[in-house]
Structure 1
Amino acid sequence: MDEVLDREIVDAVRRFVERDVIPNASALEHRDEYPHAMVATMRELGLFGATIPADFGGLGLSFLTYARVMEELSRGWMSLAGVINSHLIMAYVIANHGTDAQKKYFLPAMARGEKRGGLALTEPHAGSDVQSIRTTAVRRGDDYILSGSKMFITNARHGTMLAVAAKTNPHADPAYAGISMFAVEKSDRGPTVSRNLDKLGYKGIDTCEVLFEDVAVPAANLIGGAEGAGFKQVMSALEVGRINVAARAVGVGQAAFETAIRYSQQRTAFGKPICQHQAVQLLLADMATRVEAARLLVANAARKKDASERCDVEAGMAKLFASEACAKISLDAMRVLGGYGFMADFPVERFYRDAPLMMIGEGTNEIQALVIARGLLARYPI
């Protein structure tokens, strides 16, 4: 896509956020209510096809533009970016690793938002350690029988299908060589979405436990058509997810900064607006600097992904820095607002509750640091 069209899409999302999201997000979030109307508008804007290639009906956005869109959505309400992220991780896996038949069947419907996907990777005992998953897939005739459980699954209830990681060879050595990915469409035969999980933040979006109790999945839905490729497939897709999470952190950080700097010019203390007090100015300068630094790291990772280069280090750096910056910025915004920052009438307390998700989601920041270090050691051999 050309730069003009990319800019028009970002501008359209910004108008949507200003018109529909910011005025309504807090009420929906406090009720933990799924934003059906907002999701419908995102579908109309084509965001469910944001990074799906135009050949399959998607917008074919660059990852740089996609990151800007996610930042804008998160500036309004971070949960909305989660609806898109899990869906497009699944789409990425299919687009880059699926068979031709899988691409033709799934991607056009996903681009239209008719099929809405999620990623079923995490399990109750296996989070960042993906190799330790226990869900199995056993070939039986023309089907695979999936058995196991998944935890913290976004889009599980309101989506229509999941990209599921399962072990087709539980005895493989190394363990990751036994993992395969399946495109599982929900039906009355399963899987079972057992319960919505009650969370500190990231509310309004369905995050669920999902049970696979001998669920039959057509062998044709084995992504790529070959067993044992699932680990590499999902790891490449998680680079996209980490760019998304980092962009979310930039958006929430930007929103917290904007709330703080506006309030600081309206609130007076000791005879003048608090923005004229040096202590507040130091907070504002630090907040703005961290947001801008995070934004540049996200852009750097997105550009490498656009160039089809490996970007696990850059995506890890962006996710690590941006999420930690977001947590500090949201807390500093609360300091600027004082008691009002602690009140549910102001959005800062929501930013503060949402920020930890970015430090945990798509691999904890401790895992990001290890990924970064190992990547750097590989780049600087002696």
Structure 2
Amino acid sequence: MRILFLTYIILVFTVSCDVQEINQTVPSTQAKFSYTISNNSIAPARAVFINQSINAQGYLWKFGNGDTLYTLSSDSVIYTYEQAGTYTIRLEVEPTTPDLYYNNLVAEKTIVINDIPVKRLYFADRNEGKVKYVVLDNNLLPVIEEFESATLNKPYGMDMDTLTGKLYVTDYAEQLLNRFDWDGQRQEILMNSNSELFNSPIGIAVIGNKIYWGEPGGIHRADLDGLNPEIFLDMPNEYPQDIAYDPLNQAIYFTNNLNPESGGVWRVDVDGTNLTNVVKDVWGGAIEVLPDSNYVYYYVAYEGMYIAELNGDNPRLFDASNAGKWAWGMAVDKEAGKIYYPNRVDGTIMKADANGSNVEIFIPAEADINPNAMTIDKAR
């Protein structure tokens, strides 16, 4: 008995020492910052760099144009960019405890200052759980910028209210409807799992003063602030996926889940009448329309990207490169005659002409993204 008792004491003492050593871990130094930019990022633009570093005692700011600033203050830094351009901002910090292998002493972000209003392609990146965007300015090497918030899990739906500059994003995994300012400066949660008539949301569309989304059993809608939800289209035993709006013909197009649902690409008037299955027996994902050219674009599971006439006639597979992984989200740039869509097989964003020709990589795999939902804003 005495031997066992002594052994127990030694074991307890050993464990206690290990816990004490863990609790004495030295805090690391972490370089981090965020930013805001005035004047819609059009030169001249004032940038506010918000210092979020931890356990640092000196800060060297490099503004991407040769200008630098060293300070001992952790306060935010203000800098005005007089000229348009792409700038990589670098913050180098001095640690309170040098030589810690888990210090992170450098943070970098790239910003774009424009000389005229520009259109932006927004998309969700599941690798980092963020909304990201690029300026559609014919740059051969698009610069990816991002929202500071990183809370997205499975963001399958995205649309922009171009009148108010509000970006709506669904999160299927977290059961949320998020709303962001166009520049990412504010995030709101409008609906959640406790909200009435809101369950497992996929695609969304802003139509007039309402936000529409697909969920099991039909398409629902609410005011743009998430209030007053109601059933727009009751479809028991179906599961609408992505949604697209045809303003020319006042119609809504949507894809439908397959197995056990009936699948297909569907069309319904904006007053909820004339529901029609225009493409039957396909397992749909992303969808978009270009009414002026009589085109509907849609993803078919394990096949790829299709184009057809608005009535469903003459369907044609124009890109099979993303057949192996589901495509959520697609965007049409009407003025430029281009369509954009994700290729989650290769981790790229693709671009093609409006007729489905000239398919090419727009954002390459080197960007290390997992693109999902996407939309295009008007020029700002």
Higher relative contact order structure (alpha carbons within 8 Å, sequence separation ≥ 6): 1
Which band: TM-score by shorter chain? under 0.3
Bigger strand fraction? 2
- Using structure 1 for the length normalisation, give the TM-score: 0.23
Bigger radius of gyration, 1 or 2?
2
